[in-house]
Amino acid sequence: MLQSLRIRNLALLEEVALDFEAGFTAVTGETGAGKSILLGALSLLAGERADKTIIRQGAPAVEVEASLFFEDPTRIDAVLAQLELPACEDGVLILKRSLPREKAPKITVNGSLATLAALQRLGEHWVDFHGPSEPRRLLKESCQLDLLDLFGRAGPALAAYAVSYRAWRDLVAEQARIATETKLAPDQIDFLQNQLARLDALELTDEAIEALERDFQRMSRAQELIELASALAGGLQGEEGVQGRIAELLRQARQLESIDNASRPLVERLASAAVELNDLGAEFSGLSQQLQFDPEQAETLSERMHTWLEVKRKHGGEVAAVVAAREDMRRRLDVQGDLEGTLLRLEKQIADAARKAKKDAQALRAIREKAAKELTKVAAKGIAQLGFKKADFQVRVVALPELTAAGDCSVEFLFSPNVGEAPLPLSRIASSGELARVMLALKTVLADLDEVPLLVFDEVDANVGGEIGRVVGEKMAGIAANHQVLCVTHLPQVAAQAACHLVVTKDQSKDRAVVSIEPIQATRKARVSELARMLGDRNAKSALAHAEELLGKR
């Protein structure tokens, strides 16, 4: 849940720090007072893109910060781990975002720098926005299908079908590709066979290619390397080398030891150095011998290096790219060798994959058909509570002749607001007000299935009022039993049922407009006054009495 929110220099708001409680919070205020500022701050923390026009005039930067508490942080910590961000401490997630006027934007998550993409990914797990445009989405078949699958908990069945459908379509695409390939001419086959033979002569592993490049480098500069190794061996070995000189030094050191026994550790170190220098001389001498390449070995190494450079240039700089090219050549030759047989085998694989996809699609459709019956019942009840006493609402699953990415069926939401009229698709009969209430009824039904802790509703009560407003408030309060709900509303019947109440005001009495946000739930008088304002007149006795009635014993 959202615990606290701090906003600085966003639009007309200078600064505010708010604490939130679980349950239902209403946000009210005059039209144009700036209620969208609060939602804008949450959107920024959820990763919405923004430009610098949102910065308060004269301020250097917008800053928003929130703390969120998760009773079980397992899921959010898993997402943080994937994003390589610190885990929540005691279940608390800290989000900060600043948008300076002159500098680059900055985002931190639990104290570590993060990207906008990371903020968007996290936002999917802590907040869900439902705005005025939401009902129009209900006209889309894809949205209706998503809602039905959510209600029917069809996620696992849908995922299983997606795998089998993709496997089937991939095989069909492979068949089409092979079928359209023209048979290779003999000279083309010879060319591919020669290329494949050259590639097979190379050991195409990272280690082998690294060794090839190293050996070729050594061979290319063999004479220079031999001369250097021989010079080093000569400088260390023999009477004229370091070895001869150090032998004399060691004899003198032994004399020193015979006179002063305390010098023994120094003499032993000199003796060890003499042994090490002797070994080094022998190894440099051996290296000069190893660097002698016989002509046949040098030719083989040159040919292999030439082949590698050629295929590397042709197929890509990485060993993996060359390996992929080799396998593609081998596949093309294999196909040419048995083109008809390959197509027949693919035909059988496609038939098997199609049967598997159809079976998974049927299982998915069975879940949807059962869910459609249940959703029809519960949604119709909710719609009736929202003022459509005689309305008819149906969820119809329609079989399709062919498999699609979404299954073997589509879904239609049918609605009739009036008794005696046949239900038709929503897009054909629903007004904006009707759509809003249908969507609200569905959201109420589906809220318990939403695992996101914070649900933000922006004027979902638009186009309703009076007694229906009270029902909307009851539904918001019902959703708040399992979620934290933040609802921007113009209806006093909705606001009165909130446990917490924030009022947004705009002061234009001075040189510039200033927006403020204040919690008023702790003062009954302030809350009654705000509800009376929403009813029409905060000073009218009838409005005040009605506000008292709406609040009841709260």
SS (H, E, C) 180-200: HCCCCCHHHHHHHHHHHHHHH
What burial letters (b/e) apply to 257-274, b meaning 16+ CB within 10 Å? beeeeeeeeebeebeeeb
Q: Specify the higher pLDDT residue, 86 or 313.
A: 86
DSSP letter, residue 263: G
Q: What are phi and psi of 504, to 5 degrees?
A: -105, 125
Q: Where is 518: in which H helix or E strand?
A: strand 514-519
Q: Which residues pair with 503 in a beta bridge?
A: 28, 518
The DSSP secondary structure of 251-303, one letter per residue, reads: HHHHHHHHH-GGGHHHHHHHHHHHHHHHHHHHHHHHHHHHT---HHHHHHHHH
Contact assessment for residue 277 and residue 235, using Cβ atoms and an 8 Å cutoff: no
Lowest mean per-residue pLDDT among 143-152, 159-168, 315-324, 353-362: 315-324
Residue 180 lies in a domain: yes
What lies within 8 Å, CB to CB, of 365 at 6+ separation is: 397, 399, 407, 408, 409
Residue 173 pLDDT greater than 80, yes or no: yes
Residue percentage of the chain with pLDDT more than 90: 37
Residue percentage of the chain with pLDDT more than 70: 89
Residue 4 pLDDT greater than 70, yes or no: yes
Report the pLDDT value the prediction gives residue 134, as an integer from 0 to 100: 62
Contact assessment for residue 79 and residue 125, using Cβ atoms and an 8 Å cutoff: yes
Identify the CA nearest to 398 among candidates 144, 26, 17, 131. Answer: 144
* Structure confidence at residue 239 as a pLDDT band (50, 70, 90): low
Residue 162 lies in a domain: yes
Question: Which residue do the tokens 């009813």 mark?
Answer: 535
SS3 34: coil
Residue 399 lies in a domain: no
Report the pLDDT value the prediction gives residue 69, as an integer from 0 to 100: 95
* Structure confidence at residue 221 as a pLDDT band (50, 70, 90): low
* Structure confidence at residue 105 as a pLDDT band (50, 70, 90): very high
Residue 506 pLDDT greater than 80, yes or no: yes
Find the largest Cα–Cα distance for the chain: 126
Q: Which residues pair with 486 in a beta bridge?
A: 25, 456
Residue 530 pLDDT greater than 90, yes or no: yes
Identify the CA nearest to 441 among candidates 454, 426, 453. Answer: 426
Mean pLDDT over the full length of the chain: 85
Report the pLDDT value the prediction gives residue 271, as an integer from 0 to 100: 85
Segment 501-514 mean pLDDT: 86
* Structure confidence at residue 320 as a pLDDT band (50, 70, 90): confident
Residue 61 lies in a domain: no
Q: Specify the higher pLDDT residue, 545 or 439.
A: 545
With left for phi above 0 and alpha for psi between -120 and 50, is residue 118 left, alpha or beta?
alpha
Enter the tokens of residue 161. 């079908």
Q: How far apart are alpha carbons 44 and 10 in whole angstroms?
A: 11
Number of domains forming the structure of the chain = 1
Segment 251-273 mean pLDDT: 85
Report the pLDDT value the prediction gives residue 462, as an integer from 0 to 100: 65
pTM listed for this prediction: 0.62
Report the pLDDT value the prediction gives residue 317, as an integer from 0 to 100: 73
Q: Specify the higher pLDDT residue, 130 or 492.
A: 492
Q: Which residues pair with 69 in a beta bridge?
A: 92
What value, to the nearest 5°, has the Cα angle with vertex 9 and ends 8 and 13?
Answer: 95
Q: Other C-beta atoms within 10 Å of 497: how many? A: 26
With left for phi above 0 and alpha for psi between -120 and 50, is residue 58 left, alpha or beta?
left
SS3 14: strand
Q: Other C-beta atoms within 10 Å of 411: how many? A: 24
Report the pLDDT value the prediction gives residue 254, as an integer from 0 to 100: 85
Residue 93 lies in a domain: no
Report the pLDDT value the prediction gives residue 431, as an integer from 0 to 100: 67
Per DSSP, helices labelled H in 152-185 are 155-180
Report the pLDDT value the prediction gives residue 288, as an integer from 0 to 100: 64
Contact assessment for residue 44 and residue 64, using Cβ atoms and an 8 Å cutoff: yes
What is the per-residue pLDDT across 357-412, written as a single tens digit (0 to 9) for each? 999 999 999 999 999 999 999 888 888 887 777 888 899 999 999 999 999 999 99
Identify the CA nearest to 29 among candidates 505, 381, 517. Answer: 505
Q: Which residues pair with 133 in a beta bridge?
A: none
Enter the tokens of residue 283. 């190894």
Residue 30 identity: E
Residue 226 pLDDT greater than 70, yes or no: no
Residue 208 pLDDT greater than 90, yes or no: no
| Residue range of the domain that includes 315 | 157-386
Enter the tokens of residue 227. 């001369």
For β-strands 112-113 and 127-130, DSSP reports them as: unpaired
Residue 102 pLDDT greater than 80, yes or no: yes
Q: Specify the higher pLDDT residue, 286 or 376.
A: 376
Lowest mean per-residue pLDDT among 159-173, 228-242, 403-417: 228-242
* Structure confidence at residue 44 as a pLDDT band (50, 70, 90): very high
* Structure confidence at residue 455 as a pLDDT band (50, 70, 90): confident
Residue 267 lies in a domain: yes
| Cα dist from 138 to 57, 389, 447, whole Å | 39, 21, 16
Residue 64 lies in a domain: no
What lies within 8 Å, CB to CB, of 265 at 6+ separation is: none
Residue 502 lies in a domain: no
Q: Specify the higher pLDDT residue, 510 or 83.
A: 83
